[in-house]
Amino acid sequence: ETGVTQTPRHLVMGMTNKKSLKCEQHLGHNAMYWYKQSAKKPLELMFVYNFKEQTENNSVPSRFSPECPNSSHLFLHLHTLQPEDSALYLCASSQTDSSGNTIYFGEGSWLTVV
């Protein structure tokens, strides 16, 4: 139990579907993150929210749409994805005013686009 919960753990969607990934953190942190991890590639930072405000958008295509209604919840809305978007999507959280800003990850959501 990492304190960061992601649902669903596995998702298969067609290219015309709309789906959402959900993340909830129980650690009282103020910042939340979405990362993408593809096979044999490094972690790619997608979005960062700090106190519900988006502070980073790492040139992510508009078919990925984040939503952060409060500091504990983060969503990633998906629509008209491509097969190359198949990857592990990781949510993370941190307390940015703590020493070093250690971030904690969820177990990830495995996405397959068919």
Partner 1 sequence: QKEVEQDPGPLSVPEGAIVSLNCTYSNSAFQYFMWYRQYSRKGPELLMYTYSSGNKEDGRFTAQVDKSSKYISLFIRDSQPSDSATYLCAITSGGSYIPTFGRGTSLIVHP
Sequence-separated (6 or more) residues with CB below 8 Å from residue 92? 4, 32, 33, 35, 103, 104, 105, 106
Task: Report the site for partner 1 in 77-106 (rule: CB under 8 A).
Answer: 88, 90, 94, 96, 99-106
Closer CB to partner 1, 64 or 89, in the complex: 89
Closer CB to partner 1, 82 or 101, in the complex: 101
Q: Note whether 5 binds partner 1 by CB under 8 A.
A: no
Q: How far is CA 11 from CA 27, 32, 99, 110, in A?
A: 26, 21, 36, 6
Closer CB to partner 1, 33 or 64, in the complex: 33
CA-CA-CA-CA torsion for 18, 106, 92, 67, nearest 10 degrees? 20
* Distance in Å, CB of 21 to partner 1, minimum: 13
Task: Report the site for partner 1 in 30-69 (rule: CB under 8 A).
Answer: 31, 33, 40-43, 45, 48, 56
What is the binding site for partner 1 (CB under 8 A)? 2, 4, 6, 31, 33, 40-43, 45, 48, 56, 88, 90, 94, 96, 99-108, 110
